[in-house]
Amino acid sequence: MLELAILGLLTELPLHGYELKKRLNDTLGHVWGVSYGSLYPALARLERMGAIEVVDPPAAAPVTIPSTGSIAGEAAAARLRRPLRRSGRTRKAYRIASTGQTLFSELLRADPAPGTDENRAFALKLAFCRHLDPPARLEILQRRRDQLAEKLARGCQALAAARAGRGSDFGDTPTRGPDRYTRALIEHETTTAERDLEWVDSLIAAERGPIDAGDSMTLQGRTT
């Protein structure tokens, strides 16, 4: 997922590693924190794949120093005319390559890998959905809707079972079902899934947009 985030940001403009980390945390800090220990290995992998490339720093403009007429002044001018040595700590700026553009599009469209956190994966893809065409965006939203609908159905079943086998929460008699804290957790997860489903439905409706006049007339003609 980190590779997808890096490519998404570099699609907009070239960035140094420090700038990338800051933008990743600003954009996706609510999803997960990015450390330099994970960022730079990911950049190295993408560079080896040819998905990103280092941007050459701009050449320094030649320095024009007027003659001073003095020995000391000429010596100082000569030092200023010497080319600057590049420091080994110069920060590298990266930009996305054509291979990276293709990879970025494939990663956006791909199903999450097994074991991937669905919430984080969807949040990341949603952050870069603007780079896809409407059908691809709708596909991502519909896939998320299916996940949430399945999660909501499981939650409703678990909640019904918990309420049916509620039993006693106190005393020495063992309960036949989950205790009130477990039931509260099931209720919370079910309510969250329901709200998320409503939210994704609103995104789908906005993506499809209102029916224009031509389509409206066509629909009316079919119903008459």
Answer yes or no: are the C-beta atoms of 200 and 141 closer than 8 Å: yes
In whole angstroms, give the CA distance from residue 9 to residue 36. 16
In whole angstroms, give the CA distance from residue 23 to residue 201. 29
Look at the pTM and tell me if it is higher than 0.75. no
Residue type, 1: M
Interval 99-112: pLDDT, tens: 999 999 999 998 87
Interval 161-177: pLDDT, tens: 887 765 444 444 555 56
Answer yes or no: are the C-beta atoms of 10 and 52 closer than 8 Å: yes
In the predicted model, residues of the chain with pLDDT beneath 70 are 29-32, 57-90, 165-177, 210-224
Q: What is the pLDDT of residue 25?
A: 83
- In the chain, what are the domain boundaries? 1-56+91-131, 133-215
Q: What is the pLDDT of residue 215?
A: 43
Average pLDDT, the chain: 78
Residue matched to tokens 């997922």? 1
Domain 1-56+91-131 belongs to what topology?
Arc Repressor Mutant, subunit A (1.10.10)
In whole angstroms, give the CA distance from residue 21 to residue 19. 5
Extract long-range pairs of 117-120: CB within 8 Å, 24+ residues apart.
118/144, 118/147, 120/1, 120/31, 120/32
- 45-67 per-residue burial string, b: 16 or more CB within 10 A, e: under 16: ebbeeebbbeeeeeeeeeeeeee
Answer yes or no: are the C-beta atoms of 49 and 103 closer than 8 Å: yes
Answer yes or no: are the C-beta atoms of 116 and 1 closer than 8 Å: yes
Interval 189-202: pLDDT, tens: 999 999 999 999 99
Q: What is the CA radius of gyration of the chain?
A: 29
